């Protein structure tokens, strides 16, 4: 999960203000919910699935899932996910639902995110020893200080326990622990609200589902290989620098090594670090740690 600024793309016409399709649909929904009784069917919203909304979400998230950073476009259609569920809300730790959900946000641009099926839907996932049910579905857990019912007026007092990558920077809260070469998502904080939010996001978005860990592990392995390859050149460079030979002769050996290093770093930037790549949060965390470990050696090359 990485931060994306909603203001960086134009609000789609379908849900942009007065007279928009979303606004007209909302008027119908307001009438519908004036006589709504618990247990009644939810209003059937359609505008949020309009093509211009999907296109804007795809552009904003570069065809990756807002939650797990997987590329989905070549294997499945994007799901337009409601950060705050529109129809009903699953009660935490007890059976049943809160109905209706945040219906007035059904086509609110700030409430929409692109998601893969596994993050968005409640689905069974196989682990080594068991089957587990994961996926956000109708979940929207709040901090215990936030009280139900959930109304338009109470929104400002809500403290959601799920991270929205358009409202905050997940890189400040979420890190990866390398356990047996498997990058496992964990909270950076050991306690407090931040840990509650990360733990809850990992649980409901399924950020440690087995197949996703496997996919992240492939990125981890490939990036590690590229970094080790660079380290070989850095060692070679160090050896040449320490040799007592004429400056011109030394430069003649060093120039191609440095050119090669720059090329390899560009490859890493283009294929791992750029936000368009899957699991770029993991790659950037790995790369920053690696640079920090090697200190000035790499920075000199990067800046040259
Ligand atoms: Zn996903």
DSSP assignment of 74-141: TTSPPEEEESS-SS-EEPTTSSSEESS-SGGGTT-GGGEEEE-HHHHS-EEEE-SS-EEEE--TTB--
**Residue 231 domain-assigned?**
yes
Measured in Å, how far apart are the chain's first and last C-alpha atoms? 31
In the reported structure, the alpha carbon of residue 228 is separated from the centroid of ligand 1 by a whole-number distance in angstroms of: 29
Highest mean pLDDT among 18-32, 82-96, 139-153, 282-296: 18-32
Confidence of residue 296 (pLDDT cuts 50, 70, 90): low
Cα of 139 to ligand 1 centre, how many Å?
15
> How far apart are alpha carbons 288 and 233 in whole angstroms?
19
Q: 128 and 217, same structural domain?
A: no
Rounded distance, CA 71 to CA 279, Å? 9
How far apart CA 57 and CA 69 sit, in angstroms, is 13
**Could you tell me which residue, 140 or 151, shows the higher pLDDT?**
140
Find the 116 Cα to ligand 1 centroid distance in Å. Answer: 4
In this predicted structure, the answer to whether residue 189 has a pLDDT above a threshold of 80 is yes
Same domain, 157 and 255: no
Report CA(29)–ligand 1 centroid distance (Å).
29
Task: Tell me the CA–centroid distance for residue 129 and ligand 1, in Å.
Answer: 23
Q: H helices of 122-246, where?
A: 192-205, 210-242
Counting the structural domains of the chain, the total is 2
Mean pLDDT in residue range 156-174: 95
DSSP H or E stretch at residue 183: strand 182-187
Q: Are residues 163 and 94 in the same domain?
A: yes
Residue-level pLDDT at 171: 96
Asked if 278 and 71 touch (Cβ cutoff 8 Å), the reply is yes
Q: 180 CA distance to ligand 1 centroid (A)?
A: 23
In percent, how much of the chain has pLDDT > 90? 72
Q: Are residues 155 and 250 in the same domain?
A: no
CB atoms within 10 A of CB 304: 8
Residues having C-beta closer than 5 Å to ion ligand 1: 65, 67-68, 116, 119
As a whole number of angstroms, the distance between CA 253 and CA 232 comes to: 15
30 lies in the same domain as 166: yes
What's the 94 CA to ligand 1 centre distance in angstroms? Answer: 26
Q: Over 70: is that where the pLDDT of 82 sits? A: yes
The residue ranking higher by pLDDT, 295 or 191, is 191
Q: What is residue 300's predicted lDDT score, i.e. its pLDDT?
A: 56
Distance of CA 125 from the midpoint of ligand 1 (Å)? 14
Contacts of 114 (CB under 8 A, 6+ apart): 54, 57, 58, 60, 61, 64, 65, 66, 78, 79, 80, 81
- Between residues 147 and 289, the one the model is more confident about: 289
For position 157, what pLDDT does the model report?
Answer: 87
Geometric angle at alpha carbon 37, from 31 and 41, rounded to 5° = 80
Distance 211 CA to ligand 1 centre (A): 11
Report CA(68)–ligand 1 centroid distance (Å).
Answer: 4
Count of beta carbons in the 10 Å neighbourhood of residue 53: 23
CA of 70 to the centre of ligand 1 (A): 6
CB 59 within 8 A of CB 73: no
Question: Are 147 and 221 in the same domain?
Answer: no
Q: Is residue 188 part of a domain?
A: no
Pair (78, 218) in one structural domain: no
User: Per-residue pLDDT tens for 107-118?
Assistant: 999 999 999 999
Q: How many A from CA of 302 to the centre of ligand 1?
A: 32
Separation of 50 CA from ligand 1 center, angstroms?
21
CA of 181 to the centre of ligand 1 (A): 21
Apex CA 141: angle with CA 192 and CA 178, to 5°? 55
pLDDT category at 126 given cuts 50, 70, 90 is: confident
- Distance in Å, CA 65 to ligand 1 centroid: 5
pLDDT, tens digit, 9 for 90 and up, residues 29-55 = 999 999 998 888 999 999 999 999 999
Domain range spanning residue 147? 6-174
Based on the fold, state whether residues 130 and 274 are members of the same structural domain: no
Look at phi and psi of residue 69 and say left if phi exceeds 0, alpha if psi is from -120 to 50, else beta.
left
Euclidean distance between CA atoms 232 and 256, whole angstroms: 14
Q: Are residues 145 and 10 in the same domain?
A: yes
């Amino acid at each position: 999960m990485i931060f994306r600024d909603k203001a960086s793309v134009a609000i789609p016409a379908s849900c942009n203000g007065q007279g928009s399709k979303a606004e007209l649909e909302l008027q119908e929904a307001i009438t519908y919910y004036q006589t709504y009784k618990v247990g009644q069917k939810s209003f059937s919203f359609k505008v949020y699935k309009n093509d211009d909304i999907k296109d804007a979400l795809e552009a904003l998230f570069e065809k990756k899932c807002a939650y797990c950073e997987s590329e989905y476009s070549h294997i499945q259609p994007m799901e337009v996910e409601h950060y705050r569920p529109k129809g009903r809300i699953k009660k935490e730790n007890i059976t049943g639902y809160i109905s209706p959900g945040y219906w007035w946000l059904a086509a609110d641009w700030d409430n929409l995110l692109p998601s893969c099926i596994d993050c968005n839907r409640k689905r069974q996932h196989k682990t080594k020893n068991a089957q587990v049910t994961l996926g956000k579905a109708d979940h929207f857990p709040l901090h215990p200080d936030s009280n139900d019912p959930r109304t338009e007026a109470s929104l400002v007092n809500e403290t959601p326990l799920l991270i929205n990558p358009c409202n905050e920077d997940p890189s400040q809260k979420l890190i990866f622990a390398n356990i047996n070469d498997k990058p496992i998502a964990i909270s950076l904080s050991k306690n407090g609200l931040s840990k509650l939010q990360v733990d809850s996001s990992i649980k409901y978005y399924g950020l440690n589902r087995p197949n996703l860990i496997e996919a992240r592990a492939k990125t981890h392995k490939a990036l590690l290989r590229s970094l080790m390859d660079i380290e070989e050149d850095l060692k070679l460079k160090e050896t040449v620098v320490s040799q007592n030979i004429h400056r011109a002769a030394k430069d003649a050996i060093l120039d191609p090594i440095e050119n090669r290093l720059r090329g390899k770093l560009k490859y890493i930037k283009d294929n791992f670090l750029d936000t368009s790549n899957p699991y770029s949060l993991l790659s950037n965390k790995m790369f920053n740690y690696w640079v920090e470990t090697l200190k000035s050696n790499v920075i000199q090359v990067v800046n040259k």
